[in-house]
Each structure stands twice: as C-alpha cells, then as structure tokens.
Amino acid sequence: MSQLFSPISMRDVTLPNRIVVAPMCQYVSEDGSANDWHLMHLGQFAMGAGGLVFTEATHVSPEGRITPGCLGLWSDENEQTLKRVVDFCYQYGTSVMGIQIAHAGRKASNRIPLNGGGPLQPDENPWQTLGPSDRGYGDWPAPKALDADGLERVKQQFVESTKRADRVGFEVAEVHGAHGYLLHQFLSPLSNTRNDGYGGSIEGRMRFPLEVFKACRAVWPEGKAMGMRLSATDWVEGGLTVEETVEVCKALKDAGCDFVDVSSGGNDPGQKISVGPGYQVPFAEKVKEEVGIAVMAVGMITDATQAEEIVATGKADMVAVARGAMDDPRWAWHAAQALDVKIEYPPQYVRCRPDIWRAGHGSFVPKK
C-alpha cells in the first residue's frame, strides 16, 4: 500500500494521489493571456505528472507581473484563453487543476530570464513597482510603498482574479506568499519597514497577507480548496523565521486555509541557502506538527522512493515537483511503476500501461 498514491480530500476536492506539479513560470504570455504553449505545457502534465497540476504564477494586474511575458487573470481575454487550456486538461487528462494567484510587488518589471533577467531598463518599457515599503530588492529600483488606497486596490485585484479563477474551472487555488513576491514582502522584516499597523511585529506584518487570503476565501466556493504558498525562512539573518511562519500558518488555518505549500527564500539577494535532497521538507514537517494543517513539501524531491518516504512518515501530506515534471511529464506514471502501484491513465494512453502491453495483451481494454 503506497501512501504517495493514496487519495487526499480537501473540502469537496479529492486528489487521486499526493503528487503535485508545482507552478513553473513560462514567460510566453502576451498581455497576460494563455496561448498554445500553455495548452501543451499544462496539457502534458495533466496526462500523468501528478494528481494536482498548478498553473504558473498567475498575476492579478499588469503591474503585478514579474515580466511582460507572465500569465495574468485580470481581463476577460485572460479568462477566456486560460479557460480554453483548463477545459482541455479536464477533457483529456486525469489531474485536478489548480491556480497560483500572485502579485510580484517590488520584484516586478523584469526582463524574462531568456533575455538576461534583471530590471527592465528605461528603453524597455518598465513600470512602477509596488511594495510594503520603498526598499528595493538589492540594488533594483525602489518600489512605491502602498498607502491605504493602494492596499485596498491590490486586495480587490486578488479578489477579482479569484472570481475569474472559479469561472475558469479551477478546483484548487493557491495564494502566492513566497519567493520574495508581494505578500512575502509584507511578511519579511527585510522588506517591510512600515511603522503602521501593517508592519513591526509578525502580527502586523501578516495583517495584509491575511486580509488578502480572507477576502479571496470569501469569494471562492465553499467546496473548493484554497491554500497559500509561503517561504518558511528568508535564509538571511534578521529575516523571516520558521517560528514566525508557524504563527502565520496558525492564523491562516483559523481563516479557512486548507493547506500550506512550504517553500523558502527569494526575498533577499544575500540569502545563503543550504540546498540538498529534500532540503525544505523539515520546514513543512514543522508546520504540519505545530499547526495541524495539510502541507505540501517542495524542493529537490526527485524520485518515487524519496517522495513515498516523505508522505509515509508523515513529514508532509503532499509532495510537489517542478523540474522533475519538466524532465518527465509522466512523473506519476513512472513513480507508480517504481512503487508497484496501478493508476488511472487517460483513455487514449491506456494501451501503454505496463500491466497491459508488457504482458502481451492484444486488446486495448485493460483487464479488471
């Protein structure tokens, strides 16, 4: 009995297994809209990479994008083009579809990585970035600190994108509060130097992210699952700590959060990360133990045995893979084979399930 391939339910949503395809930015959108690349990219994962497949970070406004090529969900066109992709995944695939709803804050207005990354230059149509304070990311341009009207505007942008995500057909939503983007910027004392009710102690720093989450949860259907991605630590002395993240997670649980996707880092160029197999799993384990909320573990989880051990020993409820899924879009198929588990294949591909074709069966209909 594999624990990795046991189902898990959150509200009315049941995932067929505990493997999650993590969000992966693609930088090929135009004005935030999805295209054929997204149809291929997400479609291939929906066929057999995991029980839950997330979109890349999907931004709530043009100024909230990391780059001009990032996906968004602020317009009718964004909604229509993304719905085409999600409908395709549900028609042909076997995965539950999830969306990551995001705002890049002070890390917005960047070149796409294939063009070198880094802030857009004056001749590249940059835009004014936003943040909790006017402190930039390293030597990047300083953001405009959000005032009361700005906070309300951004919160409503999250709400409107959440409503659109429901209409698109997503069953799981994840609010992005990690990797140095806007909501993480509020949580970290490295980027949040406010002296009002949205800064100072962790209670003040978590206030806006919690307001955003609660507002999104209020318009997300009761039966659908919603969670949040968090960076457990900044990996910088004086930054956000794991202990503070536990407190954030307790507040999120009280606010109706169904899961926490536990990552780390991304908010300061001076971070010193100790990378290795499963290096972020202890953060997820700590949140699970101290908060009693479902957690996803992510980061250098690369093979079936490792993933099985993480879930079977209770360190996390789900494991998320990204680069591993890009390398092998049938990650879950091959993990199931390694663990001697039979799983559902799309009808068009069932003839390649090993228990059928390797046994020499001539029929394309699997044995019961």
Report, as residue numbers or ranges, the catalytic residues. 181
CB 22 within 8 A of CB 321: yes
| Rounded Cα distance, 10 and 282, in Å | 23
What's the distance, CA 73 to chain centroid?
Answer: 15
Per the rule left: phi > 0, alpha: psi between -120 and 50, beta: everything else, 27 is: left
Nearest to 225 by CA among 87, 317, 306: 317
| Rounded Cα distance, 227 and 301, in Å | 21
Direct distance between the N- and C-terminal alpha carbons of the chain, in angstroms, rounded to an integer: 19
For the chain, what's the residue count?
A: 368
Per the rule left: phi > 0, alpha: psi between -120 and 50, beta: everything else, 192 is: beta
| Rounded Cα distance, 180 and 110, in Å | 14
User: Pairing mode, if any, of strands 19-21 and 130-131?
Assistant: unpaired
Q: C-alpha distances in angstroms, 163 versus 101, 283, 324, 331?
A: 11, 31, 31, 31
| Rounded Cα distance, 337 and 355, in Å | 10
Say which amino acid occupies 248. V
| Rounded Cα distance, 333 and 325, in Å | 11
| Rounded Cα distance, 84 and 52, in Å | 18
Return all residues near 308 (Cβ < 8 A) that are at least 6 apart: 2, 3, 4, 335, 339
